Amino acid sequence: MATFKLVIDKRLPVGATYPLSVRVSHQRKNVYLSLNKFLTVKQFEQVFVKKSFDEKTKKFIDDCEEYVERAKNIFTKLKTFEPASFRKAFYDKKFDVTIDDENDLSIKTLYKKYLDIGYNSGRLSLGTKDAYGYDSRSLLKFKPDLNVLEVTPEFLSSFETWYLKDGNSLATVGSIMRSLRCIINYFIKEEIIPNSYKYPFRKYQIPDYTPPKLVITNEEIQSIVDFKDFDDVMEEYARDIWLLLYRMNGINFIDLMKLRWDMIIGNHFVFIRHKTRKTRRNNIRPIKVGITDKIQSVLNKIGDKESPFVLGLLNDGYDEVYLKNKTKKFRGKVNSNLKKISKKLNLSVSLDISLARDSYANTLKRANINTLKISEQMGHSDPKVTSRHYLDMFDQDTLDEVNDSIM
């Protein structure tokens, strides 16, 4: 794994000044490339360690950083690292170090290229594209000019430490690292990343952490069903949206937004999850939701029979950007009202749209429904996803009872 750093070359006999150099290190080989600039140890520390940023010093640093970029680009273009050839290319003014889009190994470019290809081909959803965009911004916030050649196990560990200091979740660290691994794997396969690159994820282990799941009890769910102390019609509408999500297999809100009346076959809604269309290429099975009397009663209240869409919030011909923005805006309004209901009922967990899916899964679990069946109802390809992300190990009352019984 190559690293590039500005140093003063102290290998020479001790003197008043040392040559400022770009040190390139790769697979235990070092090359010192003198910039024909000489500094004392004190001057080097003042400029590159303490970073005294007067205009003259800033320009000097920028000039030196251009040599570091030159070294990175040469490494990329040569594909292999042979010290003599590398040194010759570095000092050869005729050597073209221009990196075109195809060979740009900056993290910023690799993410952009991967997301553009995936989204334009229909392989990635807009949601995934946005999530990966957040991941790349987090990495670049830590190191703005990050090049994939600098992604080492040491770098990943230092990023994790830095990211967690701001109070971020270890689960989010894992998500960022998985997206980065996906990007690196893709461009290794496409032979864009040099063969000499040392894959960092053999040594660095991505944290595998799932935060504890907080769920509401069956009694609390019943209190939501029975609730009538609404301040206005929007608050009641928000409660009814929550009930519909909960009763219809805990479907995702975006799937409810897209749900159409012509998806009714017999006495069931039959549809493919929005997420499944982009993330799965095999074992694609539709969700079947039986229209029970309880579901029908909510549909009678908030369903829009004048629209092809059940909620009447979309029109035919919408694109994914419109769907995303519309869903986000409406979701915010619903959650705002659900929060009011949550306070009135003094629920143990704050009520929001996502809690409907969790509550559905755990209601079935408490009824001793098999995890495989719960997974099928929710449209998961693997029951492990259901167990890990939606089913709490025990509800808190059960845990308290267990603790009471301890001798």
Radius of gyration of the chain (CA): 28
Three-class secondary structure of residue 96 per DSSP: coil
pLDDT of residue 347: 92
| Cα distance between residue 401 and residue 215, in whole Å | 17
| Cα distance between residue 81 and residue 273, in whole Å | 48
| Cα distance between residue 376 and residue 373, in whole Å | 5
C-alpha distances out from residue 57 to 50, 62, 64, 235, 269, Å: 12, 9, 11, 60, 68
The CB density around residue 52, as the number of other CB atoms within 10 Å, is 13
What residue ranges define each of the domains in the chain, with the CATH number in brackets? Answer: 3-91 (no CATH), 107-202 (1.10.150), 218-404 (1.10.443.10)
Q: What is the mean pLDDT of residues 173-187?
A: 94
| Cα distance between residue 43 and residue 8, in whole Å | 10
C-alpha distances out from residue 356 to 255, 271, 339, 390, 394, Å: 13, 19, 13, 11, 18
Secondary structure letter of residue 148 according to DSSP: G
pTM: 0.60
pLDDT of residue 404: 47
pLDDT of residue 279: 53
pLDDT of residue 405: 41
pLDDT digits (tens, 9 = 90+) for 335-366: 999 999 999 999 998 999 988 888 888 787 77
Maximal CA-CA distance, the chain: 89
Nearest to 280 by CA among 124, 135, 111: 124
Q: Which pLDDT band holds residue 393 (cuts at 50, 70, 90)?
A: very low
pLDDT digits (tens, 9 = 90+) for 48-90: 877 666 778 888 888 898 999 889 888 877 767 788 888 999 9
pLDDT of residue 391: 53
Range scoring the smallest mean pLDDT among 45-49, 96-100, 131-135, 314-318: 96-100
Does 386 or 74 have the greater pLDDT score?
74
Three-class secondary structure of residue 58 per DSSP: helix
Secondary structure letter of residue 205 according to DSSP: P
Q: Which single residue is written with the structure tokens 């991941």?
A: 135
